[in-house]
Copies of this chain bind each other. A is one copy, B any other.
Amino acid sequence: MAGEFDLIERIRARTVARGDVVLGIGDDAALLQPPAGQQLVVAMDTLNAGVHFPDDTAPADIGWKALAVNLSDLAAMGATPAWCTLSLSLPASDPVWIDGFLDGFDALARLHDVALVGGDTTRGPLSVCVTAFGLVAPGMALRRDGARIGDDVWVSGTPGDAAAALAQWSAGGPRDPALRARLDRPTPRLALGLQLAGLASAAIDISDGLLADLAHLCRGSGVGATIDLDALPVSDALRAAAPDRDTRRALQATGGDDYELCFTASPDRRGAVLEAGDGAGVEVTRIGRIGSGAEVIAVGADGAPWTPPRAGWDHFSG
């Protein structure tokens, strides 16, 4: 069995090089040189086996997703990613598993020039904890507390795909690989987040489900919202997997794991928001409006209210 120090060498050999890393993996701590005048943006998220991914998830997909969910948090702040640390708990040291994991982790890290600068490896039930560090100019970060009454509510991409993949996996029937890819390899919307900095009034990434995450944003801003479920863009794969409208609505409104951005902007910035989506190469769709009150109300195109079968994904409820 490979030892911990071999394992650390395997990881170190593959990491992205950056000039602002004074000292990376291999000392008691990493030493980094943040650029003058920038603010530091820090996100930390853990994926646990049996909770955050199906047990047949490939090691490479676990690696990708562990970094992706953290980069998604940086995207929702309008930050540019720079560095990350990784704590990997494994039941046993399995070089094949680790190389697979690193394949996925590194593929995403390289896409966004993120250097892995430290962390630890330890024995324990499979668990992957990542801390991601980004940079943003002072005053430019997207936050949850800036939504104003009258703002539009927008969403990127086609929500519901990841939840549909999870539903197919749970049901044990036929599975669509395109949906599964959306669950296993979410795309952090970093380019969009950067385009929206200084343009959107508030933003959040959709990890718990659209309604639940929009409710977090509204709570942060002290406002409410009404969204039109029939305005949500539906992928062809989701339409095929969930032809029934109510099932589809539930997946789109309450399914987590999409890591799309939900954001708000003043109605006089609609053209600029559409251009931001074009610039970032992702569809952005206006789905509702910020209002007074404290509730998020979901309606259909006919204006009839819709009640979700469950109120989002809370890891400790149930």
- Interface on A for B, CB 8 Å cutoff? 1-5, 7, 22-23, 26-34, 36-37, 39-46, 48-52, 73-74, 76-77, 79, 83, 85-87, 89-90, 92-93, 117-125, 127, 129, 131-134, 136, 138, 141, 143-145, 203-205, 220, 314-318
Report which residue of A22, A41, A44 has the largest number of chain B beta carbons within 10 angstroms of its beta carbon. Answer: A44
Q: Give the complex CA separation of A188 and B111 in angstroms.
A: 38
Residues of chain B within 8 A (CB-CB) of A220 are 26-27
Q: How far is the CB of A42 from chain B (nearest CB, A)?
A: 5
Residue of B nearest to A30 (CB): B42
Q: How far is the CB of A66 from chain B (nearest CB, A)?
A: 12
Contact, CB under 8 Å: B136 / A48: no
Contact, CB under 8 Å: B121 / A316: yes
Complex partner residue of A29 from B33, B46, B74, B315, CB under 8 angstroms: B74
Knowing that A32-B42, A44-B118 touch, tell me 9 more A-B residue pairs with CB under 8 angstroms.
Answer: A23-B141, A26-B144, A29-B134, A31-B39, A32-B41, A33-B138, A42-B83, A44-B119, A46-B122
Q: Give the complex CA separation of A157 and B155 in angstroms.
A: 57
Contact, CB under 8 Å: B4 / A316: yes
Q: Give the complex CA separation of A32 and B79 in angstroms.
A: 12
Residues of chain B within 8 A (CB-CB) of A4 are 314-317
Residues of chain B within 8 A (CB-CB) of A138 are 22, 33
Residues of chain B within 8 A (CB-CB) of A121 are 315-316
Known A-B contacts A27-B144, A87-B46, A144-B27; the reply to A122 vs B51 at CB < 8 A is: yes
Q: Give the complex CA separation of A122 and B132 in angstroms.
A: 18
Contact, CB under 8 Å: B34 / A41: no
Residues of chain B within 8 A (CB-CB) of A31 are 39-41, 77, 136, 141, 143
Copies in the complex: 2
Known A-B contacts A122-B52, A124-B125, A127-B127; the reply to A30 vs B36 at CB < 8 A is: no
A-B contact pairs, 13 of them (CB 8 A): A4-B314, A26-B144, A27-B143, A28-B144, A29-B73, A29-B132, A30-B42, A44-B118, A44-B131, A46-B124, A48-B89, A48-B124, A87-B129
Q: How far is the CB of A16 from chain B (nearest CB, A)?
A: 16
Q: Give the complex CA separation of A237 and B286 in angstroms.
A: 68
Q: Give the complex CA separation of A272 and B248 in angstroms.
A: 71
Residue of B nearest to A94 (CB): B316
